[in-house]
Every structure is written in C-alpha cells, then in structure tokens.
Structure 1
Amino acid sequence: MQITDFSVDQNLKELTEHRTVVLPVACYVTTISENINGYIPLHWHDELQFIHVVKGTANFQINEEPVAIREGEGLFINSGCLHMAKDENSTGCVYICLNVSPNFVVSHELFTTFVSPYIQATNLQYLHLVPKDAWASNILESIRTIEQYIHQSQPFYEIEVSIELTSIWKNLVKNGIQLEFKERETLKNQRMKRMLNWIHQHYAEKILLEDIALAGQLSRSECCRYFKRYLNKSPLNYVTDYRIQKSQILLQQPQYSVTDVAYQVGFNSTSYFIEKFRKAMNMTPFEYKKYRN
C-alpha cells in the first residue's frame, strides 16, 4: 500500500501513524509520482526511515543535503530530519519505505547505549546505502525481507520482523561512523523548523520576508540563506509553493470555486493564483478541479 497524501501538523511533522496492527513499524511500496503533489513534500517524523529503491532514481533532500539514490541503492534517514523526495527525471521511481520507532530497534536495556547517541548525533542526518559495502548490503536485504514478512503476514512474522530490525541496526552501528554533537547544527535545524512552522500557521495571511526571519530569529539575508541551503528557493517562493499545495486539497472540494480557493490560501488575486498554479502543476486550477472531482 502507498500513502498518496499524508497530513503534517503546523511544524511539518507527519501525522501518519507508522505501525502495523501490533508493531511500531510500517512498510510501504511508494511510487513518487503517485503522490498527490507529484513528489514527496518536505516533512519530518520521529521514526527512523530506511529506503530501498527498486526502480528508477529518487532525488532526496535531507535537511540541507541533496542525495540521489539509484536503483538497487538505499537510504537511512535519521529521526527528526526534514526530508523530501522527487523523481525529477521521470524515471518511474519506486522504493520500499520502512518506518520504525527508535524504541523498537533494540531492547529497552540497550537503547541508551546503542540508539540514543545515534539519534542525537548532528553528523548522522542520513546514510547512503550502497550495495558494494557489506554492512549496507545487509541492511538493504533486511528491508526487502521485512517488506515480504509484513505483506505475507505469516504466523509469528512479528518476531521475524523484530529480528531483522535488530540486524539492520547492528549493521548500521558496525559502519563505524564517529558521532559528533554540535550545538550549532542542532540550532540550525530548530530555526528552520520554526520558520516553516510560522509559514504553515500564517500562509493564508499576508506574509513579509521580515515576518519569516523574525520567526527564526535571523536577519533577512540569513533567512534567505537558510532557505537556499535547505530548499534551494527563496522564503517567499516557498510560501507560494506551500499555498499551491494547500490549494490542491481545497480544489477537490466541490463547494469551493477557484476564486474561493485562491483567497483561502493567501493569494490576493485569482489571476495570479492561476498563473502560479499553472507554472507549478502544468495545468490550470480549473483543469485540476475537473480532473480531481
């Protein structure tokens, strides 16, 4: 099953409950282009995420770091990291996505020693899993095995999943990365989340660059540098893109006209909304509304 759309709160934290009936684990086979936005928008969650690309190439961004994951490769995304994914070259990218609670990868007694430091490390936002590395190859194999266990749901599969998760974490730890803990990096991540949070609370209102910078306790120029590093766009361009994302949900409601939607998401002109929507979605809001209803 794939999540084609998911809810996030005003902090961009994903609200989807990542679990099976019994386990704090969820496994999806995801086709990027089938998401309602045509890509996986920026979000974060407490769960650890393990990805195995089975077709095409996925272009991820984790915090401010871009990374291309090709067919047969994978990716570990740490808890709390902002991330998004695109299939920019229309490769038909499909990947297995495994989300797991950090508290479940090892026993409670081992968590403080073998999990907590890795979650808190500022130099472990992600790991690129390349099959030529034995530890990474083992993780990729376990992701595939877990997907099969969950899909088939044979008796006692929950125990098998638990064993594979412990194996995944053992291989990740065996990679031997030297953990770093830099307060400045933690602060950068918190500031970016605060600015995004402010935008998501106020997107329907008039927004100035000064407002966004103030939310992050930054100057206007430093605010722009943050958005350039994390999202490769200006703060106000991000506001426009976010308004377009929110408009897609409202356009699927038959009671709202295109003009209604434009003003509800913060555009002060229907024609400007149509122009920006067409540029982002390669169709007008009217065409999108007809397509989705």
Structure 2
Amino acid sequence: MVNDPITKIMQDASEIVRYDEVGIPLSIREGLLSAYPNHRALCHWHEDIEWVYIRSGQMNYYMNGKRVLLNTGEALMVNSRQMHYGYSENGQDCDFIRILCHPKIFITNSVLYQSYIAPVLSNPSLEYLHLKPEFPEDAEALQLLPEILRIKKEHPAAYEIEAAALLSLLWCRLLRSHPMMPNEAAAKPKEPDLLVQRDMVSYIYSHYSESINLDEIAAAGKVCRNKCCQIFRRYLNQSPIDFLNHYRLEVSCHLLNNTKLSIAEICTACGFNHQSYYSKIFLRTYSCSPRDFRKRTEEKTSAEISEKD
C-alpha cells in the first residue's frame, strides 16, 4: 500500500485524488520519499484536507512559499486549496503516512458544517498546522493518525465509518487547542505572487508537451521574465525551466513504466526537442538512462509477479 509516486495533476495544477473506495472521499496511504523522482513530489493543490505523519526520517514541506521541516513523530495538517509538496533536501529517505479527506466527509449536519468546518476551510490565516509530540495539546492527534492507518490495513467491516469518525474527533480536538477559526482582525489576504505562481505552474502542466519558453511561462502569470524567475526561485527553489523539465521527466517516467512507446516517442510526447538532451538530463536526474529505467521497472514487475505465484 505504498503511495503511488506519480502524482496525477489537472491542467489547473490541482491533484487528481484517487480515493480508496469509490464514492467515499477518503485516501489513507503509507509511502516513502525515495519512491518519488529526486525524492520530491510535484507542486499541486486540492480541495481535500491533507494530513502527513512522519514515521521515520525527515521531510521538508512547502506551502505557499513557506517551508516546514517535519521530524519523526511529527505531523502536518494542510488546509484545503493550498499549493504544496513534500521533498528531501539532502536525499534522506522518509517513511510517512498521508491521509486525504474531502471536507464533505464531515457533513453530517449542515449547521455543524457551517459552524465548524466551512470557516476553517476559508480562513486565509490557516494554511497549515504543524503538530509536535512535545506539545500536550498535539499528543492525541498524533496518536489518531497511525490509528487510522491501522484500521485501514486491518480492513474490518465498515472501517470507513470508523476512520471518518476518528478524523471528526481529530478535527474537534484541534479546534479546541489551535486557533483554526478565522480572526477578521488578523486575517491577511493571500500574496498576489502566490496567485501568479499558480497561474504559471498551471500553464506548465497544461503545455509541457509543447515547445514553450520562459517568455510564455512569464506571460501566463502576466509578469516579466525577471519577476517570473524570482517567483519560481522564492516559492519552488527552481528556475522556471528546471521546473518544466522536472515535470516533463516525471511524465516520461510514467510513460516508460506504463506504455510501449519508444524512447523517441516519449521524448517527443514530453516536449523535449532532442533525444540526446532528454537522455542527458534523465541520466543526471535518475543516474540511469531512460532505457535502463524501463528495464529495471520491467524486472521489478516480473519479480513481484513471480513472488505472488
């Protein structure tokens, strides 16, 4: 049940969330950062509330230009519609639990939802909560997240009801111990540069297969080239072209693993003009050629099938 390292992204940079059960907006997974290319997930957002619990190692987490270091035993709640991703700064692996739940899973009563859920989701001051075991008010929350995974793995009858109930209890405890409700006096509007960043990232996700350049990425955000580069450096610690190539490589990995397309066809489908350049940056990123990457995946799949037989 390891998290799929290929994050599915819509053209507006939102993630296509795959829930565990059809019709139940809940995803409970465990994962390793090493399963992601360069130990780095794609920058994205979604309507769901996200919980990340660190079982071992460390994870750097990005939200709207802010960076948080998560250590073993700590957790993060990411509010709805925040631009975010997890990554390793030094190649260190991290074993984590990731839980996504759509806010509608809390809808049991419209009055309760409007009183205790909707205001938090629209609170511009609440981008995330960082939960630490040394804080008594966080202790119960940090116990509930692994418990939700345990229930999912044991899969008793109607486990989804119990998992949703524990998430509701978790929400209640945090409402009592953290300033989650909006405070009009303290509320700050979202930085304009964050909206520009989302527009430029969305443009890359929509047009990666085309021959796009820095001017076109900047134009998507209605900024000049210099401002475009500043925003990418500030919020994503990458140049716009590096970000573009990173996404193209992610897509190419998915195509290498899941299609019979030739290396040349994959190169073209991902927007690379020259196969030699594609192979060069692939090797630099993954320490192997696209051909060897595909071969390793095929060998791993064959070994897993043999074990099952």
TM-score by length of 2: 0.85
- AA aligned to 1:182 is K
Counterpart selection for 1:109 from 99, 108, 111: 111
Please tell me whether the aligned partners of residues 42 and 247 of structure 2 are also in contact (alpha carbons under 8 angstroms): no
- 2:125 corresponds to: 123
- 1:45 corresponds to: 46
Distance 1:162 1:260 in 2: 44
- 2:188 corresponds to: 182
- AA aligned to 1:20 is E
1:214 aligns with 2:230: no
Q: Secondary structure at the match of 1:154?
A: coil
1:229 aligns with 2:234: yes
Counterpart selection for 2:154 from 152, 155, 158: 152
Task: List runs of 5+ in structure 2 lacking aligned partners.
Answer: 299-309
Distance 1:10 1:103 in 2: 23
- Residues 206/90 of structure 1: CA separation in 2 closer, same or farther (3 Å cut): closer
Deviates more, 1:223-232 or 1:158-167: 158-167
- AA aligned to 2:120 is Y
Q: Secondary structure at the match of 1:2?
A: coil
- AA aligned to 2:170 is I
Distance 1:254 1:45 in 2: 27
- 2:302 corresponds to: none
- 1:2 corresponds to: 2
- AA aligned to 1:96 is I
- Residues 273/157 of structure 1: CA separation in 2 closer, same or farther (3 Å cut): closer
- AA aligned to 1:136 is D
Q: How does 1:185-264 map to 2 (within 5 A)?
A: 185=191, 187-252=192-257, 255-264=260-269
Distance 1:249 1:19 in 2: 21
Q: Secondary structure at the match of 1:196?
A: helix
Identity among equivalent pairs (%): 27
TM-score by length of 1: 0.90
- RMSD of Structure 2 on Structure 1 (CA): 2.3
1:81 aligns with 2:86: no
Distance 2:262 2:46 in 1: 34
- AA aligned to 2:117 is V
1:118-166 CA-to-partner distances (Å, cap 9, x unmatched) read 2122222111110122222221111122222222233454443233222
Distance 1:270 1:65 in 2: 36
Please tell me whether the aligned partners of residues 38 and 285 of structure 2 are also in contact (alpha carbons under 8 angstroms): no
Per-residue deviation at 1:253?
5.5
Distance 1:209 1:56 in 2: 36
- 1:60 corresponds to: 61
Q: Secondary structure at the match of 1:171?
A: helix
Per-residue deviation at 1:182?
3.3
Q: Secondary structure at the match of 1:41?
A: coil
